[in-house]
């Protein structure tokens, strides 16, 4: 007898999260009704060679979402695409006619694909006639772009990921790669393990997980980074490590840059003092810098999100130019982008201060070149509005139609109150998203349902210039459409049929490639002319490749500037004279704390996708603020207490995390929680709209705030079979769960059993005789715990405590699913939160294997003293490895105790 | 050859009252000091040494007569204890150290222990002494109730432990029972209102009718003197064949008082169980120590242990400790110990699962557990009792305390 087994097809695609751009194998289910099996890393992809971080590993869990936007919506009503496009086009046409093209704007995202970006950029800059095309990449790496362009004449990332493994000194500035770019971090950690002489230096005000592999951590004063590199430039002269030939033959401006550096950072001691670090530490860095030709400076948002971000980038680049440590294996200034396709956006010119294909409005001849290529009727002629300026213009009524695509400015832009005012003022807010409910879709007049990852089809470029395919594998749900399709439909309706009648996405890519090569002749760095005739089947088979890929060089380009030629008019790189400056706002009596922002290990951006994976919520379930123990003690704040942060712009309620990772008078808060997940924890509420004058990138990592414990409150946990409206809570946070709804809450004092029971507004619908309440109360500690059973099934659990208390909700949540009547023992246990004698896991450290802190502590107490030993016993850290820095701390804390 | 050594004269210990306390003391003392003592046990009932606690179970037919044995009277007699049953003591003369029995017999003693127990209170209600108004104290009382034929209407006065046990027993025997209880809720000395509510539901399901917060107005007697109706305060008249008085007990101290011993509510004793008179001791329900009287066995066993030493001149002292209460009604699990009505400085922890008939209340004071009520699931009762007795500091387990030992003292797996 034979049976025919349908073999599952595994297809290569690219991860949609960070800028590392890892290759992913996605196995399609046999039928549409089946769930997509867990993804795996693509062994052949040069970014990750099979590895995936915990976010990437959990991708399959995020494919099915209860909250997909599946139909166009106009003014709250579902409509057909035809009608929605008509509405949108008519309004754009009217506004452009009445107020000029600059009354229209795109606000795009590093999440959309290069092809989406290309048609949006083309429509705005060539056909509507406005350069108001900006993107959330403005918040991420705009300073790095301007830094590169000032130095190299082009936005060219010189290095590649191999260089990270080949270098002998890696200086990581403003990057917590262990959490934000985990696969790069793991490649670095593996390289360092193999070559222990390789040095890693972390420059970051905070002691992050990345410090785990650091030989040296410089906990600088926030924003003082540029001084370090200004000093290294002067020190390079003293140490005699300048590459005089390189400076003489391939650069301009060295003397001016050096004399400014000497003035700004005249000595080691003054520099150390400016940066708030020990002289010895700075001396160590300087000595390693002197001795190590193969040095990579790896920088990210900590450098870029600053009012002097561009200057910081150029301070770094100056050092590499002066020593000729660029265009060589294992050396260079390496900006790492945050998003999967921030680079693709840069390549098409999808920023307000770019034109197209790495040409600017100011690039001689560029406007004419692009106009001719596009056959464009209405070319924009000057820079458009950068993100913050765009929303300010919107509030002033100058921008009347905005089309927001795949991003959540209500959470990601600074000063949420201003963003709200702007969107309220804007006459037509169009939002394209795959999610129905985000803080930004809530502000929309028109919603376009977009395809999401695994449905979207096109290309992305990662931080090492590597173009990879994101493949459309699963059918789009409902009426969801690709973003490029929606843009083209609107364009056609506006009268631009011939320029936007693409049949397939590869045609867009081919046109983009053709533009990059159009009259290029080696003048522009970005040239992927090799693909300008690409066919559908070639596009489908495209393997990851690093640009430039000009005609005749299909293998692409591993490393830039190996020949010392730069894309300036005279072919020489430019030194920029830098005078280091601190963030615009400094501590005052009214706002004594300096707020730094960033990310947590297992969440991505505003949680619109990672929020769908329950396992990813376990590492960090709630929004928090890190506070130094000294400050916490002074303010009477204990770990996990609810804390109110206020600034001149707004406030946020966060849970205290008392930690020595931050310096006294400094606090840190992650950025992920939106109003979809927590009622009052949007950190961008607090951030001022301070931007770098050159790049327009907001100083999102810096705000001056006040901090206070919230008093007269009690803490709680609610698990419900149905979503709840928790308006009586001062604070609530919905923690993604496998089933049901899990809320961590804070009430004002004075709750009673009766008031808590009333949380369930549906209660009147239940027949009284089917309802049972189980109750626990301890008035002395203000504890109340309630369980509601309807027809003997748990429908709601409410726990209230006077103190913050972590109750592991997993077991309780699993009881929501139980169909048989609860045993008497379980009836008791559901008000405890765990079965008697159950092993307590503690807080989850390893998300892949769901291993918790208490299990690890227990294993360590039995004598396991290495991370490998923990892995052998508990499996923790043996999959994606994201938790290795944390595991290491468990092991080392024991060593400290026994020492 | 006759022994040249004459038997030494044994000291004589007379125990008045052959209930559980007296019988046990007689039994234990004989075992320990039988060689030196002549023990005389005097009782007014015909049956000696039975387990009075089990009367309710006997009434409820949960056990048989054979299960009632507590102390083997026959064996005791063979061992030399002189048992005088069915012959109440009527006069104690401490001066001459003699005891006069109803039969006319006079017994001399060297030491005497009064274990005369208690009697059912009879409410001052008209008709209260009618022949079909009875207490629930003795095997005899059970005999009377078991002889009640067919399905009769019975009125039980008092919703305390004894009254409820009588009511359940009578209902199980097919009678129609109404319980009057003066307080707002049942077992008001052992339970709080919420747990009493659960008990009320359960007993109502069993068929018992309750009139809470109410005492009968009067008993209406028929021509033969028997109570025919209980008259309620609202004038309603309930037909009854039998009235069981279970509205509390009072210590039986007639003999002691007549002998001039110092008494309060009961016979006053010190921590050696000594009364105001030389060589006269008191034990059990008839004694009063530190302004307390005793109705449960646990402290009385402690008193016996004290007497076992004191009577032979050794050191011992009685200390009062809280004692748990259980209701002996099958299918009703209830446990109550210590202070159950919190005062202001106490705090309470509650667990309540009404549908599962499960209720717990713990009273905590200054880090110590001082009282507990368990209803429905009493498995943790003995653990709570230990915590109270050992004065274990429970401050660190307050959040889990009410959920029981399994959560607070996890087993090492």
Q: What is the pLDDT of residues A309-319, one digit of tens each?
A: 999 999 999 99
Contact A251, A573 (CB under 8 A): yes
Indicate the DSSP class of residue A711.
Answer: -
Residue to mutate among B407, B411, B413, with most A CBs inside 10 A, is B407
How high is the pLDDT of residue A896? Answer: 43
Does residue A155 share a domain with residue A104?
no
How high is the pLDDT of residue A4? Answer: 40
Question: Region A574-601: what's the mean pLDDT?
Answer: 96
pTM equals 0.85
Burial class (CB in 10 A: 0-12, 13-18, 19+), A558: middle
Chosen domain end from A301, A335, A369? A335
Interface touch B407/A831, C-beta < 8 Å = no
Does residue A85 share a domain with residue A184?
no
How far away is chain A from the Cα of B353, in angstroms, using its nearest Cα? 4
Interface touch B356/A824, C-beta < 8 Å = yes
How high is the pLDDT of residue A852? Answer: 85
How far away is chain B from the Cα of A846, in angstroms, using its nearest Cα? 24
Does residue A721 share a domain with residue A698?
no
How far away is chain B from the Cα of A860, in angstroms, using its nearest Cα? 18
Does residue A731 share a domain with residue A876?
no
pLDDT band for A2, please (50, 70, 90 cuts).
very low
> Mean pLDDT over all residues of chain A?
93
Q: How far is CA B224 from the centre of its chain?
A: 33
Assigned domain for A554 exists: no
Q: How far apart are CA A145 and CA A161, in angstroms?
A: 18
Interface touch A831/B358, C-beta < 8 Å = no
Q: How far apart are CA A202 and CA B269, in angstroms?
A: 82
Pairing of strands B287-288, A73-74: unpaired
Pairing of strands A446-449, A73-74: antiparallel
Please list every residue in chain B whose beta carbon sits closer than 8 Å to the beta carbon of residue A837.
Answer: 406, 410-411, 413
What does the block give as tokens for A23?
């290759």
Place of tokens 């399959």: A60
Per the structure, the complete domain to which residue A219 belongs is given by 142-335
The backbone torsions φ and ψ at residue A317, rounded to the nearest 5 degrees and listed phi first, read -60, -40
Contact A694, A622 (CB under 8 A): no
Does residue A99 share a domain with residue A57?
no
How high is the pLDDT of residue A893? Answer: 63
Assigned domain for A346 exists: yes
Q: What is the pLDDT of residues B131-147, one digit of tens each?
A: 999 999 999 999 999 99
Q: What is the pLDDT of residues A349-374, one digit of tens each?
A: 999 999 999 999 999 999 999 999 99
Burial class (CB in 10 A: 0-12, 13-18, 19+), A405: buried
Does residue A394 share a domain with residue A246?
no
Compute CA distances B114 → A318, A431, B41, B194, B267, whole Å. Answer: 107, 94, 10, 40, 9
The answer to which of A393-402, A784-793, B254-263 has the lowest mean pLDDT is A784-793
Interface touch A789/B355, C-beta < 8 Å = yes
Does residue A764 share a domain with residue A857?
no
Residues whose CB falls within 8 Å of the CB of residue A7, separated by 6 or more in sequence, listed in order: none
> What's the CATH number where A32 sits?
3.30.200.210
Does residue A117 share a domain with residue A25?
no
| pLDDT of A836 above 90 | no
Assigned domain for A360 exists: yes
How high is the pLDDT of residue A769? Answer: 72
Please list every residue in chain B whose beta carbon sits closer than 8 Å to the beta carbon of residue A827.
Answer: 353, 356, 358
Taking each helix axis from N to C end, the angle separating A884-898 and A867-874, rounded to the nearest 10 degrees, works out to: 120
Interface touch A780/B398, C-beta < 8 Å = yes
| pLDDT of B410 above 70 | no
Of A412, A394, A395, A411, which Cα lies nearest the Cα of A403?
A394
Contact A171, A229 (CB under 8 A): no
Does residue A364 share a domain with residue A426?
yes
Q: Is B5 in CB contact (< 8 Å) with chain A?
A: no
> What's the CATH number where A425 sits?
3.40.50.740
Q: How far apart are CA B374 and CA B350, in angstroms?
A: 10
How far away is chain B from the Cα of A751, in angstroms, using its nearest Cα? 16
Tally Cβ neighbours within 10 Å of residue A32: 9
Indicate the DSSP class of residue B374.
Answer: E
Q: What is the pLDDT of residues A39-95, one digit of tens each?
A: 999 999 999 999 999 999 999 999 888 899 999 999 999 999 999 999 999 999 999
> What's the CATH number where A180 sits?
3.40.228.10
According to DSSP, the residues that pair with A669 across neighbouring strands are A597
What does the block give as tokens for A508?
């867009």
Please list every residue in chain A whose beta carbon sits closer than 8 Å to the beta carbon of residue B364.
Answer: 780
Q: How far apart are CA A713 and CA A716, in angstroms?
A: 10
Taking each helix axis from N to C end, the angle separating A505-517 and A366-374, rounded to the nearest 10 degrees, works out to: 150
pLDDT > 70 fraction of chain B, expressed in percent and rounded: 97
Of A20, A29, A10, A9, which Cα lies nearest the Cα of A52?
A20
Largest CA distance in chain A: 90
Q: How far apart are CA B376 and CA B199, in angstroms?
A: 9
Compute CA distances A674 → A451, A618, B43, B117, whole Å. Answer: 22, 17, 83, 74
Q: Which of A780, A789, A828 sits opposite B347 (nearest CB)?
A: A780
Q: What is the pLDDT of residues B276-287, one digit of tens each?
A: 999 999 999 999
| pLDDT of B4 above 60 | no
Does residue A130 share a domain with residue A78?
yes
The answer to which of A607-616, A873-882, B20-29 has the lowest mean pLDDT is A873-882
Assigned domain for A519 exists: yes
Q: What is the pLDDT of residues A702-723, one digit of tens each?
A: 999 999 999 999 999 999 999 9
Please list every residue in chain B whose beta carbon sits closer than 8 Å to the beta carbon of residue A776.
Answer: 349-352, 402
| pLDDT of B329 above 80 | no
Side by side, which strands form the sheet with A133-135? A77-78, A73-74, A446-449, A428-433, A401-405, A104-108, A133-135
Question: Region A450-467: what's the mean pLDDT?
Answer: 96
pLDDT band for A889, please (50, 70, 90 cuts).
confident
Residue to mutate among A828, A832, A858, with most B CBs inside 10 A, is A828
Assigned domain for A777 exists: yes
Of A283, A234, A778, which Cα lies nearest the Cα of B363?
A778
The answer to which of A70-79, A363-372, B15-24, B44-53 has the lowest mean pLDDT is B44-53
Which domains occur in chain B, in start order?
A: 11-119+249-310 (3.50.50.60), 133-245 (3.50.50.60), 333-408 (3.30.390.30)
> What's the CATH number where A860 sits?
1.10.10.1100
Assigned domain for A823 exists: yes
How far away is chain B from the Cα of A831, in angstroms, using its nearest Cα? 9
Of B383, B345, B350, which Cα lies nearest the Cα of B366?
B345
pLDDT > 90 fraction of chain B, expressed in percent and rounded: 72
Alpha helices in A305-380 (DSSP H): 309-322, 342-348, 366-374
How many residue contacts between A and B have a Cβ separation below 8 Å?
Answer: 67
Q: What is the pLDDT of residues B354-388, one digit of tens each?
A: 888 899 999 999 999 999 999 988 888 889 998 99
How high is the pLDDT of residue A809? Answer: 84
Q: Where are the beta strands (DSSP E) in B339-383?
A: 347-353, 358-365, 368-375
ipTM of the complex: 0.77
Q: Is B400 in CB contact (< 8 Å) with chain A?
A: yes
| pLDDT of A898 above 50 | no
How far away is chain A from the Cα of B200, in angstroms, using its nearest Cα? 19
Return left, alpha or beta for B235; rule: phi > 0 is left, psi -120 to 50 is alpha, else beta. Answer: left
Please list every residue in chain B whose beta carbon sits closer than 8 Å to the beta carbon of residue A780.
Answer: 347-349, 364, 398
Q: What is the pLDDT of residues A3-29, one digit of tens each?
A: 444 456 789 999 999 999 999 999 988
How far away is chain B from the Cα of A625, in angstroms, using its nearest Cα? 27
Place of tokens 């001459």: B96
Assigned domain for A753 exists: yes
Tally Cβ neighbours within 10 Å of residue B63: 15
How high is the pLDDT of residue B411? Answer: 47
Does residue A107 share a domain with residue A165?
no
Largest CA distance in chain B: 83
The alpha carbon dihedral of A224, A230, A236, A242 has a sign of: positive
Does residue A158 share a domain with residue A128?
no
Indicate the DSSP class of residue A804.
Answer: -
Of A534, A530, A533, which Cα lies nearest the Cα of A552?
A530
Assigned domain for A783 exists: yes
| pLDDT of A886 above 70 | yes
Q: How far apart are CA A270 and CA A261, in angstroms?
A: 12
Please list every residue in chain A whose beta carbon sits closer than 8 Å to the beta carbon of residue B355.
Answer: 772, 789
How high is the pLDDT of residue A883? Answer: 82
pLDDT band for B69, please (50, 70, 90 cuts).
confident
pLDDT band for A238, please (50, 70, 90 cuts).
very high
Residues whose CB falls within 8 Å of the CB of residue A733, separated by 6 or more in sequence, listed in order: A621, A622, A623, A673, A677, A678, A679, A681, A743, A744, A745
Count of structural domains, chain A: 6
| pLDDT of A535 above 60 | yes
In angstroms, the first-to-last Cα distance of chain A is 67
């Amino acid at each position: 007898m034979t049976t025919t087994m349908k073999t599952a097809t595994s297809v290569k695609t690219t991860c949609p999260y960070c800028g590392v751009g890892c290759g992913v194998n996605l196995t399609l289910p046999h039928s549409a009704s089946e769930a997509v099996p867990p993804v795996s890393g693509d062994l052949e992809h040069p970014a990750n060679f099979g590895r995936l971080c915990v976010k990437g590993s959990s991708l399959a869990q995020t494919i099915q979402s209860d909250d997909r936007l599946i139909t166009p919506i106009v003014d709250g009503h579902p409509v057909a695409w035809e009608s929605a496009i008509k509405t949108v086009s008519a309004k754009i046409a009217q506004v452009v006619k009445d107020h000029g093209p600059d009354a229209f704007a795109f606000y795009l995202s590093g999440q959309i694909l290069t092809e989406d970006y290309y048609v949006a950029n083309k429509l705005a800059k060539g056909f509507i006639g406005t350069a108001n095309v900006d993107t959330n990449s403005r918040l991420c790496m705009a300073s790095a772009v301007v830094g590169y362009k000032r130095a190299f004449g082009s936005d060219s990332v010189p290095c590649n990921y191999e260089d990270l493994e080949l270098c002998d000194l890696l200086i990581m500035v403003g990057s917590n790669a262990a959490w934000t770019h985990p696969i790069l971090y793991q490649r670095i950690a593996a390289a360092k393990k193999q070559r222990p002489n390789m040095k890693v230096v972390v420059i970051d005000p905070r002691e992050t997980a990345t410090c785990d592999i650091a030989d040296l951590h410089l906990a600088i004063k926030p924003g003082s980074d540029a001084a370090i590199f200004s000093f290294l430039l002067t020190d390079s002269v003293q140490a005699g490590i300048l590459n005089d030939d390189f400076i003489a033959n391939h650069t301009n401006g060295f003397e001016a840059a050096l004399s400014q550096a000497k003035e700004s950072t005249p000595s080691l001691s003054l520099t150390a003092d400016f940066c708030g670090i020990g002289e010895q530490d700075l001396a160590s860095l300087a000595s390693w810098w002197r001795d190590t030709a193969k040095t990579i400076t790896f920088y990210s948002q900590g450098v870029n999100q600053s009012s002097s971000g561009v200057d910081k980038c150029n301070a770094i680049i100056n050092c590499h130019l002066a020593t000729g440590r660029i265009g060589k294996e294992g050396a260079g200034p390496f900006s790492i982008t945050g998003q999967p396709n921030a680079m693709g956006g840069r390549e098409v010119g999808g920023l307000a201060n770019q034109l197209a294909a790495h040409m600017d409005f100011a690039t001689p001849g560029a406007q004419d070149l692009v106009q001719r290529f596009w056959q464009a009727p209405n070319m924009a002629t000057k820079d458009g509005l950068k993100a913050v300026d765009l929303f300010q213009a919107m509030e002033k009524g100058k921008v009347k139609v905005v089309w927001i695509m795949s991003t959540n400015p209500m959470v990601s832009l600074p000063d949420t109150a201003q963003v709200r005012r702007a969107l309220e003022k804007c006459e037509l807010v169009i939002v394209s998203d795959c999610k129905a409910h985000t803080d930004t879709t809530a502000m929309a007049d028109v919603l376009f349902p977009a395809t999401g990852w695994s449905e979207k089809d096109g290309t992305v470029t990662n931080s090492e210039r590597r173009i990879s395919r994101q493949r459309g594998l699963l059918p789009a749900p409902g009426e969801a459409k690709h973003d490029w399709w929606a843009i083209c439909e609107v364009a056609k309706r506006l009268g631009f049929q011939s320029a936007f009648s693409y049949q397939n996405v590869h045609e867009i890519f081919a046109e983009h490639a053709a533009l990059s090569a159009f009259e290029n002749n080696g003048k522009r760095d970005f040239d992927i002319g090799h693909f300008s005739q690409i066919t559908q089947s070639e596009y489908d088979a495209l393997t990851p490749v690093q640009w430039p890929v000009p005609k005749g060089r299909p293998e692409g380009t591993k490393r830039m500037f190996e020949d010392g030629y730069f894309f300036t008019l005279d072919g020489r790189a430019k030194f920029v004279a830098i005078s280091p400056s601190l963030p615009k706002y400094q501590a005052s009596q009214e706002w004594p704390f300096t707020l730094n922002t960033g990310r947590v290990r297992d969440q991505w951006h505003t949680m619109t996708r990672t929020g769908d994976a329950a396992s990813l919520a376990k590492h960090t379930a709630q929004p928090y603020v890190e506070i130094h123990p000294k400050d916490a003690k002074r303010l009477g704040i204990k770990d996990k207490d609810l804390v109110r942060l206020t600034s001149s712009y707004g406030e946020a309620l966060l849970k205290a995390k008392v930690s020595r990772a931050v310096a006294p008078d400094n606090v840190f808060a992650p950025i992920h929680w939106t109003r979809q997940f927590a009622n009052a924890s949007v950190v961008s509420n607090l951030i001022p709209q301070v931007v770098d004058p050159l790049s327009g990138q907001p100083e999102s990592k810096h705000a001056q705030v006040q901090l206070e414990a919230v008093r007269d409150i009690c803490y709680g946990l609610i698990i419900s079979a149905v979503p709840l409206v928790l308006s009586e809570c001062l604070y609530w946070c919905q923690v993604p769960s496998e089933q049901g709804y899990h809320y961590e809450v804070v009430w004002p004092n004075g709750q009673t059993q009766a008031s808590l029971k009333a949380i369930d507004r549906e209660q009147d619908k239940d027949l009284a005789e089917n309802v049972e309440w189980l109750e626990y109360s301890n008035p002395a500690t203000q504890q109340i715990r309630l369980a509601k059973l309807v027809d003997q099934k748990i429908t709601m659990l409410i726990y209230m405590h006077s103190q913050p208390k972590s109750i592991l909700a997993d077991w309780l949540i699993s009881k929501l699913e139980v169909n048989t009547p609860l045993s008497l023992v379980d009836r008791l246990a559901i008000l405890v939160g765990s079965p008697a004698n159950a092993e307590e896991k503690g807080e989850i450290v390893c998300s892949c294997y769901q291993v918790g802190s208490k299990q690890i502590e227990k294993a360590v107490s039995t004598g396991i003293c290495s991370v490998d030993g923990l892995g052998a016993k508990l499996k923790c850290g043996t999959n994606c490895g994201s938790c290795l820095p944390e595991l290491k701390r468990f092991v080392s804390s024991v060593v400290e105790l026994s020492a | 050859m006759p022994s040249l050594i004459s038997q030494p004269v044994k000291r004589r210990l007379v125990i008045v009252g052959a209930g559980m306390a007296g019988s046990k003391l007689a039994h234990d003392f004989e075992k320990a000091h039988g060689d030196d003592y002549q023990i005389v046990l005097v009782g007014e009932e015909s049956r000696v040494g039975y387990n009075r606690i089990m009367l309710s179970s006997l009434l409820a037919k949960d056990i048989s007569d054979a299960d009632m044995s507590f102390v083997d009277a026959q064996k005791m007699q063979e061992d030399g204890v002189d048992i005088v049953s069915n012959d109440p003591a009527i006069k104690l003369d401490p001066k001459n150290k003699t005891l006069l029995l109803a039969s006319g017999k006079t017994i001399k003693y060297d030491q005497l222990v009064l274990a005369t127990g208690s009697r059912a209170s009879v409410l001052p209600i008209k008709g209260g002494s009618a022949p079909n108004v009875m207490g629930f104290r003795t095997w005899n009382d059970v005999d009377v109730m078991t002889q009640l034929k067919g399905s009769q209407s019975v009125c039980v006065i008092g919703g305390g432990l004894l009254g409820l046990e009588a009511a359940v027993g009578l209902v199980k025997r097919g009678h129609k029972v109404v319980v009057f209880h003066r307080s707002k809720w049942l077992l008001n000395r052992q339970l709080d209102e919420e747990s009493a509510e659960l008990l009320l539901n359960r007993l109502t399901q069993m068929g018992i009718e309750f009139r809470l917060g109410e005492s009968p107005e009067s008993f209406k007697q028929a021509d033969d003197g028997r109570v025919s109706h209980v008259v309620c305060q609202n004038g309603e008249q309930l037909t009854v064949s039998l009235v069981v008085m279970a509205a509390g007990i009072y210590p039986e101290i007639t003999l002691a008082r007549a002998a001039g011993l110092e008494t309060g509510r009961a016979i006053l004793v010190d921590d050696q169980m000594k009364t105001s008179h030389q060589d006269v001791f008191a034990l059990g329900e008839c004694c009063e120590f530190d302004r307390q009287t005793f109705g449960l066995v646990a402290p009385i066993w402690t008193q016996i242990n004290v007497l076992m030493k004191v009577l032979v001149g050794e050191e011992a002292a009685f200390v009062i400790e809280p004692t748990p209460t259980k209701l002996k009604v099958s299918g009703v699990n209830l446990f109550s110990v210590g202070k159950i009505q919190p005062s202001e400085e106490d705090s309470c922890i509650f667990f309540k699962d009404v549908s599962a008939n499960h209720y717990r209340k713990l009273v905590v004071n200054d880090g110590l557990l001082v009282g507990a009520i368990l209803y429905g699931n009493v498995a943790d009762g003995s653990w709570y009792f230990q915590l109270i007795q050992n004065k274990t500091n429970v401050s660190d387990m307050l959040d889990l305390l009410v959920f029981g030992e399994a959560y607070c003292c996890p087993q090492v797996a």
